[in-house]
Amino acid sequence: MNSLDFALFGIYPYICLAVFLVGSLLRFDRDQYSWKSDSSQLLRAGSLRWGSNLFHVGVLFLFFGHTFGMLTPHFMYEHFISAGNKQLMAMISGGIAGVLGFAGVSILLHRRLSDERIRINSKTSDILLLVLLWIQLALGLATIPLSAQHLDGGMMMNLAGWAQRIVTFQSGAVELLAQASWVFKLHMFLGMTVFLVFPFTRLVHVWSGFGTVAYLFRPYQMVRSRRLSLPPGHNQPQQH
């Protein structure tokens, strides 16, 4: 383990998580009017529907897939699926979702850069965020051929072990990445960077998306008509 790996994969993850959580809380508390997706649909719809739908479907699948795939301990699924088969399943499903997400973000980035009206009304952070996500998805797809070279699931287990040790504050996390390719490491670094810039971009609207789940459990609301309730056969009084 060298000092650079320790800084990037032993210290940087905690910096990103701290900024992600504290920054999101402070922005919601101090600047709620900026808590929005800043959609450019009113400027021009065009390819937005295709790009947005492909991007969101792909990225949401990848987010939950990475979250549960990397943070679920091996003993919880080893009786149902082997590490090698889990890796193969992740490569196939993640590859499909990655292609969808990459196609979607490519459409969105091209739309934002090629349409002068949208580009003028875009913030610098909007464009940089799309570029960051474009590179991140491209790197994710680039890891698939590398994963195909070792289908025993060993590298996947090391990557998952790193993530699990980081979130549980255990030592020895960085050592698990000793044999990882630079493509994996760069993909992980940019993934953590997305969390770092999260509170300062339009990504904060993701919190609101998860917050809508609360609507499933709230009490029913009774809505009353504003019209006067009159017995049958009576007309409403006329205004003079």
How confident is the model over 181-221, as pLDDT tens digits? 999 999 999 999 999 999 998 888 888 877 777 777 878 77
Q: Which two tokens stand for residue 213?
A: 């789940």
The pLDDT, as a whole number, for residue 120 is: 83
User: Per the structure block, which two tokens stand in for 176?
Assistant: 């698990």
- For the stretch 36-63, pLDDT in tens is 666 665 456 667 788 889 999 999 999 9
Average pLDDT score over residue span 2-16: 94
pLDDT at 53: 92
∠ CA 142-146-151, rounded to 5°:
135
List C-alpha distances in Å: 43 to 51, 113, 115: 15, 14, 10
pLDDT(69) > 80: yes
When pLDDT is averaged across residues 125-145 and rounded to a whole number, the result is 94
Alpha helices in 42-123 (DSSP H): 48-71, 83-114, 116-120
Distance between CA atoms of residues 11 and 7, nearest Å:
5
pTM: predicted TM-score of the whole model, two decimal places: 0.82
At 4, the pLDDT band (50, 70, 90 cuts) reads very high
CB contact at 8 A, 142 and 188? no
- In whole angstroms, how far apart are CA 130 and each of 87, 133, 155, 207? 28, 5, 29, 19
Poorest-pLDDT segment among 32-41, 46-55, 154-163, 219-228: 32-41
| Highest-confidence segment of 124-138, 202-216, 224-238 | 124-138
Residue 31's pLDDT band (cuts 50, 70, 90)? confident
Angle at which helix 48-71 crosses helix 124-147, to 10 degrees, equals: 50
pLDDT of res. 8: 95
Give Rg (Cα) of the chain. Answer: 23
Alpha-carbon span 48 to 8, nearest angstrom = 35
State the pLDDT at residue 58: 96
Residue 165 near residue 171, CB atoms below 8 Å: yes
Containing 212, the helix (H) or strand (E) segment is none
Report the distance separating Cα 72 and Cα 67, nearest Å: 8
The chain-wide mean pLDDT, for the chain, equals 87
Looking at residue 45, its pLDDT comes to: 60
Q: What is the pLDDT of residue 220?
A: 78
